[in-house]
Amino acid sequence: MIVRLTEPAVRQYESLPPSLQRRAVKQFSYLADNLRHPSLGANKYDQARDIWQGRVTGDYRFYFTIAGDTYTVLSITKHPK
């Protein structure tokens, strides 16, 4: 599978500290290999719009869609707890 980031997600990624950027890249690699990788905690976030959520860290999440063989990351944000 292919993981691509939208322009807003790229800007959000670039604004992250380097340690979180490295973690995001690692998580995107897991996503490309296995949607059900345990550290991703991937689940359907918005059923109506077909948006999924995955974990970067305990404090950060990324939101993505799935179309064919491509995961499109829409945003990377701090998780509201």
CATH for 2-78 is: 3.30.2310.20
Structure tokens at 42: 């991937």
Q: What is the pLDDT of residue 14?
A: 98
Q: Tens digit of pLDDT for each residue in 25-80?
A: 999 999 999 999 999 999 999 999 999 999 999 999 999 999 999 999 999 999 87
Torsions phi, psi of 13, nearest 5? -60, -45
Q: What is the pLDDT of residue 57?
A: 97
Are residues 62 and 53 in contact, defined by beta-carbon separation less than 8 angstroms? yes
Q: Which helix (H) or strand (E) holds 60?
A: strand 60-67
Q: Give the other-Cβ count within 10 Å of 60's Cβ.
A: 18
Average pLDDT over residues 10-16: 98
